Chain A
Amino acid sequence: VQLVESGGGLVQPGGSLRLSCAASGFSFNTLWMNWVRQAPGRGLEWVANMNQDGSDKKYADSVQGRFTISRDNAQSSLYLQMNSLRAEDTAVYYCTSPFTVDNFQHWGRGTPVTVSS
């Protein structure tokens, strides 16, 4: 099982960024998928998730209306479009498999996002 995030970087406040997560080694199209973030020196914060066919999406209040989660099952890829970025969005962003599946739970290595002028 592999989850490989990409797309992070330095962006100015108010800017946009699109994160990607390439999944392999499991049946990506059968699972809900998550984004979780971790600000520097801080704890873990769930950001968003979506169901298998993309018809159901959930967001943390802190990103609702600014971030959009999406997926491409043909490419086994998960995405996070981040708009109107703020300094408090600075974090490492992780792609993860579902939290409630028995004996199967995986995280990527994360991609860092820095929002600063």
Chain B
Amino acid sequence: EVVLTQSPLSLPVTLGQPASISCRSSQSLVHSDGDTYLNWFQQRPGQSPRRLIYKVSNRDSGVPDRFSGSGSGTDFTLRISRVEAEDVGVYYCMQGTYWPPFTFGGGTKVEIK
């Protein structure tokens, strides 16, 4: 089973400042088809999760361009260029390269200072 380790667990950020979340995988997430199936999800308080990024760096429709994903192999990063109040919540990375099972990171809680 692929283990995803996120850091930090908690991320206090000042409005308008950048934020960065790390996700490290226990093994390379490059699929035999050449793609890397690493997703990022946002879960706002009291809401269902919502996917923001798929295949490392592709934004889903409607996702603000202040969100970006990067990385390769085993190390991945989600960046928020300028944090807004609506970005408060928990962020999860998830791998879809080696399944079953699909596995999620433990989550990073973003809050406003």
Contact = CB atoms under 8 A, between A and B. Distances in A.
Interface of A: 34, 43-46, 49, 58-61, 94, 99-100, 102-103, 105, 107-110
Nearest to A99: B96
Interface of B: 37, 39, 41, 48-51, 54-55, 58, 60-61, 92, 94, 96, 99-107
Nearest to A48: B100
22 contacts: A34-B102, A43-B107, A44-B41, A44-B49, A44-B104, A46-B101, A46-B102, A49-B102, A58-B99, A58-B100, A59-B100, A60-B101, A94-B48, A94-B49, A99-B96, A100-B37, A100-B54, A103-B60, A103-B61, A105-B39, A105-B60, A107-B50
B106 A43 contact: yes
Nearest to B54: A102
A1 B83 CA distance: 28
B63 to A, nearest CB: 10
A103 B63 CA distance: 10
A103 B37 CA distance: 13
